[in-house]
Amino acid sequence: MTYGVGIKLNAGLVFLSDSRTNAGVDNISTFRKMIVYEKPGDRFMVLLSSGNLSISQSVREILQVEQLKESDESAPITIWNAKSMFDAARVLGQAVRHVHDRDAKALEYAGVEFNVSLIFGGQIHGESMRLFHVYSAGNFIEATAETPYFQIGESKYGKPVLDRVITPDTPLGAAAKCALVSMDSTMKSNLSVGTPLDLVVYEADRLQTDRIVCLDMNNPYYRMLHTFWGQKLREAFEDLEDPVWDDAHTDTPLKVDNGSSKPLKKISRPEERLI
């Protein structure tokens, strides 16, 4: 399994992925799930992948040379000459379908599902930043102000903090911190996600970045975040009052007589009890 998150903000983009591949408890390996496509001053794009490793690696390789033809007369579109991120995402979708057409039947015969999920985002000169979630069929959806992030892989443990923190106005530094907390929460609850982590932070309209880092458990910042977040969660939990059943000693009783429905309570007759 894996976990990856891409966040689109007014200030830029944040991408984070783990690198653990799990094929059983005794077969755990490290493979990078992130690749950066950069042509400084012209385009900057990041691809995150999850799902079947052989499929995602094939898609990444084919994407380098994949061409999308609109017609016999038009010039082929690649990720390196696409005029928009939408067209670049279409090329990626075509690469996914290329691999499906080539390998799906053989995989099905071997009892393996064609499973790949991708986050693809960036900026091309002349247009705004865009972020897409690409599915196994090659189709995709785009991030919006209402839904400014996408997750792939083992997403459930890291989602709550993203929902509480991330908005389009979130600063890049805060979003990177939130993504790392989301990843840390996932690793705490799921052993199939693990370090090293790849983090990329892109500032809007720069069309390049030097904010790329690989983190392991020995990284000072990540070690601090891991320890401090766990400590503060425990402190916040301890600061919450224990539930009290009446309002004699609290302004927030657990039981309130407001006429709401109550759980069904069945009382057994003595003769119905099992001996």
pLDDT in tens, the chain (275 residues): 799 999 999 999 999 999 987 645 555 678 899 999 999 999 999 999 999 999 999 999 999 999 998 777 778 999 999 999 999 999 999 999 999 999 999 999 999 999 999 999 999 999 999 999 999 999 999 999 999 999 999 999 999 999 999 999 999 999 999 999 999 999 999 988 999 999 999 999 999 999 999 999 999 999 999 999 999 999 999 999 898 888 777 888 888 777 666 777 777 766 655 55
Position 100 in a domain: yes
Of the candidates 18, 12, 45, 44, which has an alpha carbon nearest to the alpha carbon of residue 30? Answer: 18
| Tokens found for residue 46 | 């990041």
CB count in 10 Å sphere of residue 113: 12
Q: Any idea what the Cα angle at residue 52 is, between residues 51 and 56, rounded to 5°?
A: 85
CB count in 10 Å sphere of residue 108: 11
| β partners of residue 141 | 133
Position 164 in a domain: yes
Position 239 in a domain: no
| Tokens found for residue 139 | 């189709």
Q: What is the CATH number of the domain that holds 132?
A: 3.60.20.10
CB count in 10 Å sphere of residue 225: 17
Cα-Cα-Cα-Cα torsion 199, 65, 112, 183, nearest 10 degrees, comes to 10
> Looking at this protein, which amino acid is placed at residue 134?
V
Q: Into how many domains does the chain fold? A: 1
Position 215 in a domain: yes
Position 263 in a domain: no
Q: Any idea what the Cα angle at residue 235 is, between residues 231 and 239, rounded to 5°?
A: 170
Q: Which domain holds residue 45?
A: 3-233
What was the pLDDT predicted at 22? 64
What was the pLDDT predicted at 246? 80
Whether the Cβ atoms of residue 175 and residue 169 lie closer than 8 Å to each other:
no
What was the pLDDT predicted at 267? 76
Position 266 in a domain: no
> Looking at this protein, which amino acid is placed at residue 207?
L
Of the candidates 30, 11, 27, 10, which has an alpha carbon nearest to the alpha carbon of residue 214? Answer: 30
Position 42 in a domain: yes
What was the pLDDT predicted at 263? 77
Position 117 in a domain: yes
| β partners of residue 214 | 198
